[in-house]
Amino acid sequence: MKNQKIADLLFPHIHMSAEEVFAKYPKRNVQDGQIVTRFAPSPTGFVHIGNFFQAFISYNLAKNSNGIYFLRFEDTDKKREKKEAKQILFDALSYYGIKYDEYQTPDGKDVGDYGPYVQSQRGQLYQVFAKKLVAEGKAFPCFCKKTEGKEDVLKQRETKWLENDACEYDPCRDLSYEEVKAHIDNGDSFAIRLRTKNKGDERIVFNDLIKGDIEAKANAKDVILLKSDGIPPYPFAHAVDDTLMGTTLVVRGEEYIASTPAHIEIFEALGFPLVQYCHNPLICKIGEEGNRRKISKRYDPEANMTYYIEQGYPKETILEYLLNMINSGFEIWRKNNPDLHWSEFKFKPTEITAVAPLFDIVKFNDISKNIVAKQSGQELYNNWLAWAKEYDSGLATALAAEPNKYIALCAMDRDGAAKPRKDIYNYEMMKDYFKYIFERPQVEFEDADKANAKEFLTAYAENYKEASTNEEWFENVKTLAGSLGYATDNKLYKANPENYKGNVAKACEFIRLAITGQKNSPTLFTIMQILGDEEVKARLNK
Ligand code: GLU
């Protein structure tokens, strides 16, 4: 009775009962095996690869089980929330093609029957359940003022909160109705705390689909359920939302394992069946001292999902790389099924790696090279141009002015090639990689080569005629080289190198250097075709 009176005092505006709420959020009509899961980001304006990893895992699990996937914004921490943050999240997810069955549009319209899909709009719902717990004596109001400065907090905890080492009971847990009323009459704000039933020596076991059974110390702390603004911090919101919204599987980072015992006690207090957990490992990097550490927003540009967009990586690169991290079987699957879309690769929650995956940029770029190599010249050109329009307007103008030239460049050693060249991993690198197309190179011949290079290139420029095939091009070079004292047969050259100025390869090297400024390049014949007669002659003469 006392508790009911306190509950009414604290929540005079809440008239709905828990049953009435459940009537509005009926059990979902899903079959065994269909997974209902969600991505529940806190919109901070930064999409961390770890969060995206989680989103991608849950998206796949829902999709592969013909289940339901929804997006819920966890915007209860107003201090952290940034204005544009929701839009940034939407943009990043849609860029990567992650689709939701249920969500709230950026202009505030709920799609789906279990909304609002934004926590800050669910205050009433949380309060119904908080009121219920207070009425049942399982929760209580706490009027402790937020103390300034850390020292005060510690002092307060030492003297008041800690009954023994093992548990943290709040000083307000046993206030009388009169005391509560005096506070309310005084206009004091309050938080709602769980009255933990534990003493600090209990242990629990809970199941995780990736890690199996986990044994841990039971919660023994009067954790906060509602803050003084009536909005819950993560644990209570998680229990209420994932229950009402019919989540069957919670995929979240393994940093949540430590607080799961508190979540479990909240589910129990509410009388809700516990949801199934799937705590994914966190993506790591090798740190400066050779140590393995969590990939971090502070130190690693790769932690930010916009990095990949800015660098112009194909979307598939990041998705396929993450699939590699999720399940090591993906690599073999990809080898055996080079032409299937990544989404054909299916995995179960129990098949997700339990070991923290290591982010390795070399492997990442290798995967990307394979993906870029599959693009036709036209596709690569389109992607390059689209990237340039965002990040390099000068380049975009150049690409758009001569589409045929740049499509040919993109198609070089790629379109129709039995073994397409695997050299490009993102669009950002292409301008530099093909710099000899954009500007005449600075060429330096080695001292020993200078005289020969001058003689050969002068003759080549004088006789230059555009060839129509690579073979014809090579024949022309060979004939000229032969007439100038180069070996056209490598065996003869190897037997008596002193009889020659070099072999045909040496002559090709002179041309390559004059044209590209580099000793290595894709097919020279094609590059020269792209540059055109006039430019080729100018470079040879230079
Ligand atoms: N808002 C939490 C986070 O971003 C959600 C965790 C969860 O998925 O339950 O970490």
- Cβ atoms of residues 213 and 207 within 8 Å: yes
Determine the pLDDT at residue 44: 87
Determine the pLDDT at residue 440: 94
255 CA closest ligand 1 atom index: 10
41 Cβ below 6 A of ligand 1:
yes
Q: Which of 142, 171, 146 is nearest to 10 (CA)?
A: 142
Say how far apart CA 302 and CA 361 lie, in whole Å.
9
**Amino acid in position 213:** D
Determine the pLDDT at residue 159: 43
Say how far apart CA 253 and CA 275 lie, in whole Å.
15
| Tens digits of pLDDT across the chain (542 residues) | 899 999 999 999 999 999 999 999 999 999 999 999 999 999 888 899 999 999 999 999 999 999 999 999 999 877 666 668 888 898 899 999 999 999 999 889 999 999 999 999 999 999 999 999 999 999 999 998 754 444 454 455 444 444 445 667 888 888 999 999 999 999 999 999 999 999 989 999 999 999 999 999 999 999 999 999 999 999 999 999 999 999 999 999 999 999 999 999 999 999 999 999 999 999 999 888 888 999 999 899 999 999 999 999 999 999 999 999 999 999 999 999 999 999 999 999 999 999 999 999 999 999 999 999 999 999 999 999 999 999 999 999 999 999 999 999 999 988 878 889 999 999 999 999 999 999 999 888 888 888 999 999 999 998 888 888 999 999 999 999 899 888 888 888 888 888 888 898 999 999 999 999 998 898 899 999 999 989 999 999 88
Cβ-based neighbours of 285, under 8 Å, separated by 6 or more: 292, 293, 294, 295, 296, 300, 302, 358, 359
Q: Which structure tokens are listed for 395?
A: 């380049």
Determine the pLDDT at residue 194: 97
Say how far apart CA 117 and CA 201 lie, in whole Å.
38
- In the chain the domains, ranked by start, together with CATH numbers, are 2-15+122-280 (3.40.50.620), 288-373 (1.10.1160), 377-433 (no CATH), 447-541 (1.10.10)
252 Cβ below 6 A of ligand 1:
yes
Determine the pLDDT at residue 106: 86
120 Cβ below 6 A of ligand 1:
no
- Judged on CB neighbours under 10 Å (0-12, 13-18, 19+), 253 is middle
- Cβ atoms of residues 273 and 267 within 8 Å: yes
Handedness of CA 213, 217, 218, 223 (dihedral sign): negative
For residue 431, how far is its CA from the centre of ligand 1 (angstroms)? 40
**Amino acid in position 404:** N
- In this structure, the residue with its CA closest to atom 4 of ligand 1 is 41
**Amino acid in position 41:** P
238 Cβ below 6 A of ligand 1:
yes
To test the pocket of ligand 1, the residue of 234, 259, 263, 266 to mutate (highest count of ligand atoms within 8 Å of its CB) is 234
For residue 42, how far is its CA from the centre of ligand 1 (angstroms)? 7
- Cβ atoms of residues 205 and 119 within 8 Å: no
Cβ-based neighbours of 163, under 8 Å, separated by 6 or more: 169
Q: Mutual orientation of helices 377-391 and 393-401 as an angle, nearest 10°?
A: 140
Cβ-based neighbours of 122, under 8 Å, separated by 6 or more: 116, 237, 240, 241
Say how far apart CA 166 and CA 182 lie, in whole Å.
32
- In this structure, the residue with its CA closest to atom 5 of ligand 1 is 40
- Judged on CB neighbours under 10 Å (0-12, 13-18, 19+), 101 is middle
Q: Which of 234, 220, 226, 77 is nearest to 140 (CA)?
A: 226
51 CA closest ligand 1 atom index: 4
- Cβ atoms of residues 340 and 285 within 8 Å: no
